[in-house]
């Protein structure tokens, strides 16, 4: 599918689709910047939006006001409020961030972008998605005068984000656009690793998700790699499945987040793993979901954050059931296709087929009916369903839409890369 066609088709439940279509409908929960931004010209800006369930989607933008504009972006998609508080705590300790009004952050990001474009520098590729976490760029958000450059000239500061070859290209571009001697240059600056440290802090200083088990070096060295095929039951034409590889020492909580990302589920509903589905034991769930009224563990339940995959998976062909949303009952069959005698540190998505169904559409049977409605613009319910999905007049639902490259991007950029 070429890029032109894809712009007309939307997989709303993918992280990218949600951010593009729905992020701006979420209220802004807060905005932060590093306190010394005016002195350094290097700005870490954070814009957070709150989901109805209390989770947070945030964009973290590193903006170089001196020359290069938007250099780096990190997206935190639908993380818990507790985990976001961990990000902000580290931000306060490491970067000395302060809370500011949205308009200042908006001005900084877009003024930096505009300044860089004068010299031919475009924002990093991730900004194409992350800009949808921001408000549309209109005059009402441009009420600050942000100073860019130094004494009216661009200043290029080489950091570890730029290789020597890239630095040479940047210098050549500046000489081309403003002329030799009309810009400043400084190299050998300290590495700008604070953004990575900020994200790493999301799940604790030890590099482990909160409340998860600890994995020692020996356990990793003796680990294997599991290749799973995960398919949603009772959906056809097309079927909806994903093939992933996962370290054997990962927990079921981590597998839950992987499934969320590769399929595109929002995470707004409860989930469980079990051998055969409802009624089978043991049931593996999030500790936060145990009997929400009494906060006690149900009989036969195991904590997904403390139970490793290797405790249950030990033979190729073995299956387990993952159910997401106890109303729509999206039932996923997890099949262990291969046990690879290799050490891996991250999850990867190898292949897949079919778009993630819209949530709250009535489960697999409701989705089959919805596909029929969306395939016929003359159907009496088409307009209502299209509006519910947030489709514009020039967009259509594509049940076949699965973008492996996009999925791999979000798996690498949304899941904490310190789960290793």
Q: Are residues 187 and 229 in the same domain?
A: no
- The pLDDT value recorded for residue 208 is 38
The answer to whether position 383 is within a domain reads no
Q: Are residues 238 and 191 in the same domain?
A: no
DSSP 39: H
266 vs 93, which has greater pLDDT?
Answer: 266
Q: Are residues 186 and 40 in the same domain?
A: yes
- The pLDDT value recorded for residue 298 is 54
Q: Are residues 181 and 321 in the same domain?
A: no
Q: Are residues 235 and 197 in the same domain?
A: no
| DSSP structure string for 219-266 | HHHT--EEEEEEEETT--SS--EEEEEEETT-BHHHHHHHHIIIII--
Q: Are residues 182 and 243 in the same domain?
A: no
pLDDT value at 128 more than 50: yes
- The pLDDT value recorded for residue 88 is 75
Average of pLDDT values for 395-406?
Answer: 86
- The pLDDT value recorded for residue 21 is 80
In the three-class reduction of DSSP (H, G, I as helix; E, B as strand; rest coil), residue 347 is classed as: coil
Lowest mean pLDDT among 84-98, 132-146, 166-180, 353-367: 84-98
pLDDT value at 141 more than 80: no
- The pLDDT value recorded for residue 288 is 59
Tokens of 2: 């070429």
pLDDT value at 78 more than 70: yes
Name the region of 288 (left: φ>0; alpha: ψ -120 to 50; beta: rest).
alpha
Instruction: Find the DSSP H helices in 51-134.
Output: 81-94, 102-117, 127-130
The answer to whether position 373 is within a domain reads no
Whole-Å CA distances, 341 to 226, 245, 247: 9, 12, 10
406 vs 358, which has greater pLDDT?
Answer: 358
The answer to whether position 210 is within a domain reads no
Average of pLDDT values for 216-223?
Answer: 79
pLDDT value at 2 more than 90: no
| Interatomic CA distance for residues 46 and 59, integer angstroms | 6
The residues that bridge with 93 in the sheet, in sequence order, are none
pLDDT value at 211 more than 80: no
Q: Are residues 47 and 15 in the same domain?
A: yes
Per the CB < 8 A criterion, the answer to whether 67 and 50 are in contact is no
The answer to whether position 114 is within a domain reads yes
Residue at which a domain ends, from 179, 203, 227 = 203
The answer to whether position 165 is within a domain reads yes
pLDDT value at 199 more than 50: no
The answer to whether position 109 is within a domain reads yes
| Span 283-322, pLDDT tens digits | 999 865 544 433 444 556 899 988 999 999 999 999 999 9
Per the CB < 8 A criterion, the answer to whether 306 and 213 are in contact is yes
199 vs 323, which has greater pLDDT?
Answer: 323
- The pLDDT value recorded for residue 6 is 39
Average of pLDDT values for 242-251?
Answer: 94
The answer to whether position 162 is within a domain reads yes
202 vs 157, which has greater pLDDT?
Answer: 157
Return the ∠ at Cα 115 (arms to 20 and 100), rounded to 5°: 60
- Which range of 98-112, 136-150, 186-200, 297-311 scores highest in mean pLDDT? It is 98-112
| Interatomic CA distance for residues 143 and 147, integer angstroms | 13
Mean pLDDT of the chain: 82
pTM for the full predicted model: 0.58
Return the ∠ at Cα 263 (arms to 261 and 265), rounded to 5°: 70
pLDDT value at 335 more than 80: yes
- Give the rounded percent of residues in the chain with a pLDDT score beyond 90: 41
| Span 176-187, pLDDT tens digits | 999 988 988 875
Range of the domain at 32: 3-203
Q: Are residues 179 and 268 in the same domain?
A: no
Residue at which a domain ends, from 180, 203, 226 = 203
- The pLDDT value recorded for residue 126 is 84
pLDDT value at 7 more than 50: no
- The pLDDT value recorded for residue 299 is 55
The answer to whether position 278 is within a domain reads yes
CATH of the domain at 314: 3.10.290.30
- Give the rounded percent of residues in the chain with a pLDDT score beyond 70: 83
Q: Are residues 29 and 169 in the same domain?
A: yes
Q: Are residues 167 and 247 in the same domain?
A: no
Per the CB < 8 A criterion, the answer to whether 106 and 220 are in contact is no
Q: Are residues 190 and 241 in the same domain?
A: no
- The pLDDT value recorded for residue 91 is 58
**Number of independent structural domains in the chain:** 2
Residue at which a domain ends, from 134, 168, 203 = 203
pLDDT value at 377 more than 80: yes
Q: Are residues 250 and 348 in the same domain?
A: yes
- The pLDDT value recorded for residue 164 is 79
């Amino acid at each position: 599918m070429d890029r032109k066609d894809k712009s007309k088709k939307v997989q709303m439940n993918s992280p990218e689709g949600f951010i593009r279509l729905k992020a701006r409908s979420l209220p802004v929960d807060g905005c932060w910047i590093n306190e010394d931004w005016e002195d350094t010209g290097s700005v870490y800006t954070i814009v957070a939006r709150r989901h109805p369930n209390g989770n947070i989607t945030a964009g973290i933008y590193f903006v170089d006001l001196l020359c290069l504009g938007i250099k780096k972006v990190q997206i935190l998609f639908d993380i818990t409020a507790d985990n976001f508080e961990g990000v902000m705590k580290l931000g306060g300790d490491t970067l000395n961030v302060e809370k500011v009004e949205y308009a200042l952050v908006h001005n900084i990001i877009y003024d930096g972008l505009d300044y860089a474009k004068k010299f031919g520098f475009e924002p990093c590729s991730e900004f194409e998605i992350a800009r949808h976490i921001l408000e549309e760029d209109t005059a009402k958000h441009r009420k600050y005068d942000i100073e860019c450059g130094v004494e009216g000239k661009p200043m290029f500061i080489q950091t570890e984000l730029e290789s020597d070859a890239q630095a040479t290209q940047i210098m050549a571009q500046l000489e081309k656009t403003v002329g030799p001697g009309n810009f400043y240059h400084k190299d050998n600056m300290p590495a700008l690793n604070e953004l990575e440290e900020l994200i790493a802090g999301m799940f604790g200083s030890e590099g482990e998700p909160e409340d998860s088990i600890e994995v020692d070096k020996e356990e990793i060295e003796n680990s294997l790699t599991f290749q799973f095929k995960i398919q949603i039951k009772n959906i056809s034409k097309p079927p909806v499945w994903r093939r992933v590889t996962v370290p054997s020492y990962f927990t079921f909580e981590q597998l839950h987040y992987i499934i969320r990302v590769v399929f595109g589920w929002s995470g707004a509903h409860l989930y469980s793993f079990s051998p055969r589905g409802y009624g089978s034991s043991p049931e593996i769930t999030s500790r936060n979901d145990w009997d929400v009224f009494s906060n006690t563990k149900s009989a036969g339940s195991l904590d997904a954050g403390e139970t490793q995959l290797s405790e249950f998976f030990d033979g190729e062909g073995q299956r387990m059931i993952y159910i997401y949303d106890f109303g729509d009952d999206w039932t996923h069959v997890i099949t262990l296709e291969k046990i690879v005698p290799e050490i891996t540190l991250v999850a990867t998505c190898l292949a897949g087929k079919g778009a993630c169904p819209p949530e709250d559409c009535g489960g697999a049977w409701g989705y089959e009916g919805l596909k029929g409605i969306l395939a016929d613009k003359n159907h009496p319910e088409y307009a209502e369903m299209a509006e519910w999905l947030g489709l514009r007049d020039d967009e259509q639902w594509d049940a076949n839409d699965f973008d492996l490259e996009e999925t791999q991007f979000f798996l690498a950029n949304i899941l904490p890369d310190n789960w290793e």
